[in-house]
Amino acid sequence: MGVKFKDIVNPESIKFDDLKGKIVALDAANVIYQFLSSIRQADGTPLMDHNGKVTSHFSGILYRTTSLIEKGIKPFYVFDGKSSVLKKGTQIKRSEFRKESHEKWKIALDEGRIEDARKYAVRSSRMSTEVVEGSKILLELMGIPYIQAKGEGEAQASYMVDKGDAWCVGSQDYDCILFGATRTVKNLTITGGRANLELILLKNVLEKLKINRYQLVDLAILVGTDFNDGINGIGAKKGLNLIKKYDDVYKVLDHLNVELEVDPQRLRDIFLKHEFISDYELKWGNPDRDGVIEFLAGDHDFSEDRVVTAIDKLYKLRKIDNSQSSLEKWF
């Protein structure tokens, strides 16, 4: 989801090595949603424990976070707080889409159409409160910090990058650049062999498009965001030309003689005047080895061997300097 800027941004290809020693603010909603979508069986059934509770996200968090740390990257997660009332429309649409997809999934399963089943199952992925709370428990046990944002997690993460407390935001969405993230890295999820990491520098985007950040936000408003529908028939490219020609969203709307359902100023405020917390502390603590094993293997039916292998990777690094109470020395 998010703003559709794919056609106008100019990502730079980078490698994991370029992120060595860097602090990365992971957009928790985005990352966990990817786990819920992709960590499934062929027919779309997610991983579940004996109580029928979904555990796909635990698998993702355990292996991905561990692998990032092995690469010398310091990740932390940023969770969404309360979202703007303007997001309601998007949320309702998504909820309906998930519901429809869930029904199509069941039908496809009944009819034995496995590929369709998986497709619809992925679309029915939902990040429940339970998923969020479970994720926080696991992160805490792993000694990985997380921040609870007041509003949009992307906004908080972007603020932290802008401030210099994180080097980049890790997200698949382009919304971060609207929130002012100077650096966004896409595809941080695929930690496999030939990863296709993309670095999006806000500065480069603005230079290439020859507009300023306020105009970039206005452009997003024209194209459509999670908080408004945008104008029919206006995509990133047409919108860009209009913003360049008429300067701002109000003048473009005047010229086209159309109105948005929301005052653009309210939308601008979401991206430019968002709330954030600044009294956070990023501390990579000691992984609670037994705690992780008990939580994943004991409570959620993970293979103990696999959990031990993963958590020992974290643990092994800590043993290099036992006197250190945090993971700071690791990097």
Partner DNA sequence: CTGCGAAA
Partner DNA sequence: TTTCGCAGG
175: part of which helix (H) or strand (E)? Answer: helix 175-178
142 sits near DNA (criterion: CB under 7 A)? no
Size of the site for DNA (CB under 7 A): 33
Burial of 306 (0-12, 13-18, 19+ CB in 10 A): middle
Closest by CA position to 188, among listed 83, 305, 64: 64
Closest by CA position to 143, among listed 282, 319, 299, 321: 282
Residue with Cβ nearer DNA (83 or 171): 171
The most distant pair of C-alpha atoms in the chain lies apart, rounded to whole Å, by 67
Report the residue from 30, 66, 171, 225 that binds DNA according to the rule CB under 7 A.
66
116 sits near DNA (criterion: CB under 7 A)? no
Burial of 154 (0-12, 13-18, 19+ CB in 10 A): buried
Instruction: Report in angstroms how near the CB of residue 72 gets to DNA at its nearest.
Output: 15
192 sits near DNA (criterion: CB under 7 A)? yes
Report the residue from 303, 324, 325, 326 that binds DNA according to the rule CB under 7 A.
303
Torsion of CA 15, 18, 287, 141, to 10 degrees: -60
60 sits near DNA (criterion: CB under 7 A)? yes
Kindly provide the b/e burial profile for residues 265-295, where b requires at least 16 CB atoms within 10 angstroms of the residue's own CB.
eebbebbeebebeeebeeebeebebebbbeb
134 sits near DNA (criterion: CB under 7 A)? no
34 sits near DNA (criterion: CB under 7 A)? yes
43 sits near DNA (criterion: CB under 7 A)? no
Report the residue from 79, 179, 295, 302 that binds DNA according to the rule CB under 7 A.
302
Report the residue from 1, 22, 43, 67 that binds DNA according to the rule CB under 7 A.
67
Instruction: Report in angstroms how near the CB of residue 52 gets to DNA at its nearest.
Output: 9
- Chain residues binding DNA by CB under 7 A are 34-35, 38-42, 45-49, 55, 58-60, 63-64, 66-67, 189-193, 300-303, 305-306, 309-310
